[in-house]
Amino acid sequence: MISKELARAINDQMVFELYSSYIYLGLSAALEKLKLPGAAHWMRMQVDEELIHANIFYNYLNDQDAEIELGKIDKVSTKVKSAKEAFELALKHERIVTGRINQLCALAMKNSQFATLTFLNFFVTEQVQEERSVQQIIDKLELAENSKEALLFIDKELGLRAAPTVPAAAQTTV
Ligand code: MG
């Protein structure tokens, strides 16, 4: 059993993960318009990953017999000027997510909710990877600068991103 306060915060994060998937879908649409199908594909894979994250939070709330509340999801943009802008927006968003996960951990600690703290551990390390992978793409796009050839090469590489799978460490235990 978890506290109502913590359950509400986890529920909010579940909705925020759905919002994250919506943001990435918007970025994918924007990159399609820029004729960068590989980068658009990378964002689509990120959409799927965020849906997996939302699902993990949903399962955890059910495991804890907590209330599920599906709140409103804000409208998102489907326009960017460049691939670099798209990935910079992604990094900015992931930093917000990292801050939110840290706040959830702090709340779990404050309430001595150690099962939830263990559950959140997956997301703590996941966020390090999320920020790193997006930063590496930005670094490459910066190296490419105004080279269309380099941009097309990076786009091809981004198109190879595999579909995400549900991580074993985050699967429901019940
Ligand atoms: Mg996420």
CA–CA distances in Å: residue 104 to residues 74, 107, 128: 21, 5, 16
SS3 67: coil
Q: Looking at per-residue confidence, does 163 or 169 come out higher?
A: 163
CB atoms within 5 A of ion ligand 1 belong to 50, 53
Torsion of CA 88, 76, 19, 32, to 10 degrees: -60
The predicted pLDDT at position 169 comes to 65
Distance 53 CA to ligand 1 centre (A): 5
Distance 71 CA to ligand 1 centre (A): 17
Residue 173 in this model has a pLDDT that exceeds 60: no
Q: What share of the chain is helix, strand, coil (3-state, %, to 5)?
A: 75, 0, 25
The predicted pLDDT at position 159 comes to 98
Distance 161 CA to ligand 1 centre (A): 17
The fraction of the chain above a pLDDT of 90, given in percent, is 93
Q: Which residue has the tokens 């939302």?
A: 54
Distance 90 CA to ligand 1 centre (A): 11
What average pLDDT score do residues 12-29 get?
Answer: 98
Distance 23 CA to ligand 1 centre (A): 11
Distance 24 CA to ligand 1 centre (A): 11
End-to-end distance of the chain based on CA atoms, in angstroms? 13
Residue 39 · residue 156 · CB < 8 Å: no
| Confidence band of 171 (pLDDT split at 50, 70, 90) | low
Distance 147 CA to ligand 1 centre (A): 32
Distance 17 CA to ligand 1 centre (A): 5
Q: Looking at per-residue confidence, does 57 or 166 come out higher?
A: 57
CA angle 99, 105, 106 (to 5 degrees): 90
Other Cβ atoms closer than 10 A to 105: 17
